[in-house]
Structure 1
Amino acid sequence: MSWGEDLRIRREELGYSLQEVEDETKIRKLYLEALENETFSVLPPKVYSVGFVKNYARFLELDVNQVTQQFKLLAYGNEEHEEEHFVSTNNLNKPLLPSWLTATNVFAAAAFLLLAIWIGNYLVSYFAGQNIADEPKPPVSEPDKPVGDQIPGDTEKPDDVEEPDETILPPEKVIVAVTATQNCWLRVTIDGVHNFEGTITAGDERSFSGEESVIIKAGNAGGIDIEFNGNEIGVFGNFGEVKEQEFTL
């Protein structure tokens, strides 16, 4: 029995027609038939297709992660293996980073760290130069003739000036990632300030970050998946449910 047949059989066990599933999930009947027949060329781009599969599996009360992984292997097998190989190879060469560290956050933290180190080096050099300038110059005198085995120019070198170590840690933030599997009205408040309000469509992915808190209010809680500071929370609530939740450190 194939992957698509499993979906069809489960749908028929629950007593739903394709039209009824379309009405409930808002997934077009054309795409539902493509999933059950495994005609993946009919499907839209990957991000939308994966969202449809998650939504359909959740509607059929199946294991969402298992069904989604099987779909990715069937529809994007070579691409998935290449991505896994790339990730595993890089993991052997460098430590893992938290998933909430996006490229923008890493770049900003690196730039801030370099700036702090540059300022630290500048201050050390500046004050070291001030100390040297304040010291009185010794009177000029003729050099003494070497006595015995004394070697001219053999003088003690001053100890090296130790520069203080500085470690700058990136500031902790509240980061909430939202992925829409259905159309959903959304309102977002960050650190007490209204940030976003509008309708996101299936396949949309948005990320919101704040210093203290991020409040998410959804008009269709079952139509969005939530990820909080790199941890996957999963579906926000039930289909058609209005739900509001605050995320803090």
Structure 2
Amino acid sequence: MNDPILQLSREQAKKLSELGDRLHQFRQSQRLSLEQVAEQTMIPVRILSAIETGNVAQLPEPVYVQGFIRRFADAIGLDGADFANAFPTETHLEPSKTSWRGTVQAQLRPLHLYLLYMVLVMGAVSGLSYLLNRTTPQMVGLTGGPQSSQSSLTRGSNPSNLPVNRAQMGPFLPANQTVQPNPSPVAPQKPVRVGLMLTAQSWIRVVVDGKPEFEGVLPEGTQRTWMADKEVTLRAGNAGGVMVSFNDGMAKPLGEAGAVEEVTFDLKAQASLSLNSEDDASDSSPLTASNSNAF
């Protein structure tokens, strides 16, 4: 297969066919053979024949073909310059219009669709398997057999913590017995517990066992609780808007409105709580750093 750069364009091939036919007719009128012209021009006979017949497959680059035409025409008595100038040397290659179906993208497209289909199927299967794995243990707990179901229901247990419908339980549950769900686990209580309820917006800083736990502005209506093993230090920018309760005791304001107060709640305050419990019932004075033992 010839290099496309060396091939003649359609325009050049058409022009070569016209010029070659004129050279052929004029040569025969002069009774000259191709061998005679070849001896005079030093051009091989096959090249001269290819020029006359317009056989582009046997010809070199256009610039050489133009030179051969000039020498051919001069040898048989024609104006070689006019013939040579009539043959264009610039090659205008016309890119072939390749069908989209023959491109690599078109060939790969079915493979891409197949891979996408496989990914979607695998994703659907994985999701269904995950849902089944999560649902099966609960169903086994509820339908583990007549004997296990009856014994667990008669004892009043509800292992799945699901709401019990007596109409659905049927004969497995006696009429005079109710099923109570298991209580939810309770977070372990620590010795020091401080609860806040804001009646007005205030800046708050909380340090639990020596480590800062919170610092920022809390809006009105916020309720928060902090627990510690040793102590909780509370500092407020608007002490009058912060109601504080210590170890589930009665809530009291941390201080005066607009005042900055800081109070530390620890095990010592817990010891004084039992001694001052009677006073707390009637004392609603604001809590300050000097009277934190009021809790």
TM-score interval, smaller chain: 0.3 to 0.5
Greater strand proportion:
1
Pair member with larger Rg: 2
Under a length normalisation based on structure 1, what TM-score does the superposition of the two structures give? 0.32
Under a length normalisation based on structure 2, what TM-score does the superposition of the two structures give? 0.27
Greater helix proportion:
2
